[in-house]
Structure 1
Amino acid sequence: MAQVTLGGNPSNTISDIPSVGHKAPDFNLVKTDMKEVSMSDYKGKNIILNIFPSVDTEVCAMSVREFNEKAGALDNTVVLCISKDLPFAQARFCGAEGIENAIPVSNFRNDSFGKDYGVELVDGGFKGLNARAVVVVNPEGEVVYNELVPEIGNEPNYEKALEAVK
């Protein structure tokens, strides 16, 4: 369990995020076309997992825009933007924003992602949603970078996440 804050108020996660050097847990997430994807769909690629509470908040939307812009130039890399938003809301946001280099996916259907990745908030105002985190997985499926953002209202460290795939 880790503690983060939301507007300065403490909130706890269900467990710790995956450690650098360990194999990343598999996942089943839902794309905007309602089809499920798993880690094996991106086998052999660097995977940036941009995890956040909801695309309907300013900082979450900013993280999707930033990773979309910055990761577009990276070879053999996919960015998955993960929230519990319904795929319809993700599609609407990404369509309006012209998001083409980041893939919105939802863990609304399967709570195991939040548990396996240690990001499910177990108390506080966002209880049940994802904390803000970034996990970078290399082509061999190993975690090479992780960040649990201490204050949910702050942006992640984009540059460090991107450096992990270069």
Structure 2
Amino acid sequence: MANVTFKGNPMTLRGEELKVGDQAPDFTALNTSLEQVSLSDFEGKRKLISVIPSIDTGVCSTQTKTFNERAADVENVEVLTISNDLPFAQKRWTADEGLENAVTLSDHRDLSFGENYGVVMEELRLLARSVFILDEDNKVVYVEYVPEGTDHPDYDKAIEALESM
């Protein structure tokens, strides 16, 4: 499993760690309209899945904005930001930041995404900062489990992986 800390404290991640070449598991989460969505709702598109602990923190906010901005010009890509924030908080944040078209998904209800992707920090019941890039057939082509939860992911490597597909 990935070794992850949050503010220097070791975290226990629940679920199976994904690796490049794996078939991405399905999941369910809620969108900002409280509708259940799953991975199959984005079928036929490349996916950049940006996982954050909480949308209302500086690094998470920057990560969400950065990936949405940098992937905007890449063809056939859906950027999904997933956290355990309530859908109401995600909706408020996207409106406040002028990113109403950003796709934010909440995993708070049953941790389906977090457990299937190995990112639930047991001690905090938050999702560990990570990035997954999936091809049109949901094969994992890039994975980053950020070692320290308060650090930024490697934006350049993730976007390079996305653009090279």
TM-score of the pair, normalised by structure 1: 0.93
In 2, the alpha carbon distance for the partners of 1:71 and 1:162 equals 7
Q: Deviations over 1:35-85 (max 9, x none)?
A: 111111111111011001110111111101101111111110000000010
Q: Which moved more, 1:99-108 or 1:19-28?
A: 99-108
Q: Residue 159 of structure 2 is aligned with which of 143, 157, 162?
A: 162
Structure-to-structure mapping, 1:48-127, within 5 angstroms? 48-100=48-100, 102-123=102-123, 127=124
In 2, the alpha carbon distance for the partners of 1:87 and 1:15 equals 23
| 1:16 positional shift | 4.2
In structure 2, what is the equivalent of residue 152 of structure 1? 149
- The unaligned stretches of length 5 or more in structure 2 are none
In 1, the alpha carbon distance for the partners of 2:68 and 2:22 equals 26
State yes or no: 1:33 paired with 2:33. Answer: yes
In 2, the alpha carbon distance for the partners of 1:157 and 1:105 equals 21
Aligned with 2:89: secondary structure? helix
| 1:17 positional shift | 2.7
Segments of 4+ moved more than 3 angstroms: none
In structure 2, what is the equivalent of residue 20 of structure 1? 20
- Match of 1:38, as an amino acid? S
In 2, the alpha carbon distance for the partners of 1:100 and 1:71 equals 16
TM-score of the pair, normalised by structure 2: 0.94
Aligned with 1:55: secondary structure? coil
Q: Which moved more, 1:139-148 or 1:95-104?
A: 95-104
In structure 1, what is the equivalent of residue 5 of structure 2? 5
Root mean square deviation of aligned Cα: 1.2
In structure 2, what is the equivalent of residue 131 of structure 1? 128
Q: Deviations over 1:84-105 (max 9, x none)?
A: 1011100100101011553111
In 2, the alpha carbon distance for the partners of 1:78 and 1:17 equals 22
1:71/1:101 contact within 8 Å kept: no
Aligned with 2:69: secondary structure? helix
In 2, the alpha carbon distance for the partners of 1:32 and 1:42 equals 16
- Match of 1:3, as an amino acid? N
2:29/2:112 contact within 8 Å kept: no
- The unaligned stretches of length 5 or more in structure 1 are none
Given the superposition, is the C-alpha separation of residues 49 and 137 from structure 1 closer, same or farther in structure 2, using an over 3 Å criterion? same
| 1:162 positional shift | 1.3
